[in-house]
Amino acid sequence: MNNSNTELKNILGNDPDELVGVVSELGEKKFRANQLFRWLSKGVCDFDEMSNLSKTFREKLKELYCIDIPRVIYDQQSRTDGTRKCLFEFRDGSRVESVFMKYSYGNSICISSQVGCRMGCTFCASTRKGLDRSLTAGEMLAQVLAMRNLTGEDINHVVMMGIGEPFDNYENMAGFLKLIHHPDGYNLSYRNITVSTCGVIPGIRKFMEDFPQVNLAISLHAPNEAIRRQSMPVTRKYGYDELMEVCREYAKVTGRRITFEYALIDGFNDSRENALELAGRLKGWQTHVNLIPLNKVEGTGYDTPNRESVQRFRRILEENHVAVTVRRTLGADIDAACGQLRLR
């Protein structure tokens, strides 16, 4: 792969139907498209590794295309839980962070959907420098393939909770989901994928129609409009009550439980009253609350609540029959936990 030549087209991100056009233009038979797609889905970085393609065909591909698997700028591994955070660089110099996590049910990767973010959530490191550009479907897939190549381990779950707002890059996100799910490629079950949004309502409506089997998580982080407006500017465009309404619609239309991510911030949204208000909003429908004791980001002015506050909040939700867990924090010692990813 020649990463220095930005004139080459990135072939990663084409599905088999699109690759039919590629191979046909190069004078090859259509069945070569599926062969090519399978190699790309394995994370192969060099056309010469594609042993069942003729040398002539491989040379033609090299003249016009590259495989943009990003290079690893740094690879940090947690000393406490084995989490790995990687800074990946694509051939245009754009950089994103991705995180590999090990759980009892399998390996998971948290990938980025954009280079930067324009949502402006005040507790999150990822939005500090604003939005540079959105990632392509192929660049999202490339993070999974690069991490699998690096770790040598299968990745069984994908969460789109890294840098960026997936619904601010909907078409490329949708393309990625189709690519990684394709039976002739990576073949990852939709039920093993979670997409997180800060509450872009048009995206949620489209998502429930296009991908009803993919898990949806809402970054909520507040029990009401007033508190959410202070920390999440998206609320000024898509109000709290409107968000709750579309979430109820999602649960009804898809029959799927919806997850609400709630970062507990000391003295801001973690009081007994906050917990009771949240319980009142969620009681009686298919929801799950994922409580996240804030992973502190320097310069935000926010602090992590103490253990007693976290357990009190959890207990109040449970007493009101709201399903809740306290997220196990992974990678905090390498700034790889929720809200800590940023551009470098």
Tell me the domain boundaries of the chain.
9-66, 71-334
The pLDDT, as a whole number, for residue 332 is: 53
3-state secondary structure of 180: helix
Question: What secondary structure does DSSP assign to 231-275, as a single string?
Answer: H-GGGGTS-HHHHHHHHHHHHHHH---EEEEEEE-TTTT-SHHHH
Catalytic residues: 97, 338
Interior CA angle at 111 toward 116 and 290, to 5°? 100
| Residue from 56, 55, 69 nearest 13 by CA | 69
Q: Which CATH number fits domain 9-66: 3.30.365.10, 1.10.260.40, 1.10.150.530, 3.20.130.10?
A: 1.10.150.530
252, 205 Cβ separation under 8 angstroms? no
| Residue from 268, 292, 285, 280 nearest 319 by CA | 280
| Residue from 157, 229, 159, 172 nearest 199 by CA | 229
Give 271's contacts (C-beta < 8 A, 6+ positions apart). none
Interior CA angle at 161 toward 258 and 251, to 5°? 10
3-state secondary structure of 300: coil
Interior CA angle at 261 toward 340 and 147, to 5°? 50
The span from the CA of 112 to the CA of 139, in Å, is: 9
The span from the CA of 80 to the CA of 58, in Å, is: 44
The pLDDT, as a whole number, for residue 337 is: 45
The span from the CA of 20 to the CA of 37, in Å, is: 10
The pLDDT, as a whole number, for residue 300 is: 79
The pLDDT, as a whole number, for residue 79 is: 84
The pLDDT, as a whole number, for residue 330 is: 52
Give 312's contacts (C-beta < 8 A, 6+ positions apart). 272, 275
Per-residue pLDDT of the chain (344 residues; tens, 9 = 90+): 444 556 899 999 999 999 999 999 999 999 999 999 999 999 999 999 999 999 999 999 999 999 999 999 999 998 888 899 999 999 999 999 999 999 888 999 999 999 999 999 999 888 888 999 999 999 999 999 999 999 999 999 999 999 999 999 999 999 999 999 999 999 999 999 999 999 999 999 999 999 999 999 999 999 999 999 999 999 999 999 999 999 999 999 999 999 999 999 999 999 999 999 999 999 999 999 999 999 777 777 899 999 999 999 999 999 999 999 997 765 455 454 444 445 44
Name the pairing type of β-strands 114-116 and 324-326: unpaired
Rounded CA Rg of the chain: 21
The pLDDT, as a whole number, for residue 199 is: 98
Q: Which CATH number fits domain 71-334: 2.120.10.30, 3.40.50.300, 3.20.20.70, 3.30.530.20?
A: 3.20.20.70
